[in-house]
């Protein structure tokens, strides 16, 4: 097993959660070739900000691992410390068109951090690859 971590920033919580989802797919594939013509809604909940981030990214990762959907963009429709609801724009995976750079097995709680500061929001997330 190997771990891979990301550090994500946002001016507010919505931008942070959006950037975390996009960073996840930047690790998985070349997002430049995605069009994001298809969309679906997803929701996640959690006990607090770190738990919500983990559950959010698990839902996002499931789009790839469970449904072979590659996320191009995210529109957060509502967000609180305990729940997120978003519209996801994606492409269905086509092996002749999309390159998979890294397979991510899971989003982990190891060293999870989600915090706000006067300069904005910041998160650190570790993936099992």
Give the dihedral sign, CA 21/40/71/55: positive
Per-residue confidence (pLDDT) for residue 2, from 0 to 100: 77
List per-residue pLDDT tens for the chain, 129 residues long.
578 899 999 999 999 999 999 999 999 999 999 999 999 999 999 999 999 999 999 999 999 999 999 999 999 999 999 999 999 999 999 999 999 999 999 999 999 999 998 899 999 999 998
Judged by DSSP in three states, 56 sits in helix
- H or E element in which residue 75 lies: strand 69-79
């Amino acid at each position: 097993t190997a771990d891979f971590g990301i550090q994500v920033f946002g001016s507010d919580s919505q931008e942070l959660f959006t950037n975390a989802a996009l960073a996840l797919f930047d690790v998985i594939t070349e997002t430049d070739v995605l069009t994001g013509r298809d969309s679906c809604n997803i929701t996640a909940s959690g006990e607090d900000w770190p738990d919500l981030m983990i559950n959010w990214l698990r839902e996002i990762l499931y789009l790839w691992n469970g449904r072979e959907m590659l996320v191009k963009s995210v529109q957060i429709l509502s967000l609180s410390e305990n729940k997120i609801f978003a519209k996801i724009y994606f492409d269905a995976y086509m092996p002749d068109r999309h390159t998979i750079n890294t397979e991510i097995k899971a989003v982990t709680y190891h060293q999870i951090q989600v915090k706000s500061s006067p300069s904005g929001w910041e998160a650190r997330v570790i993936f099992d690859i």
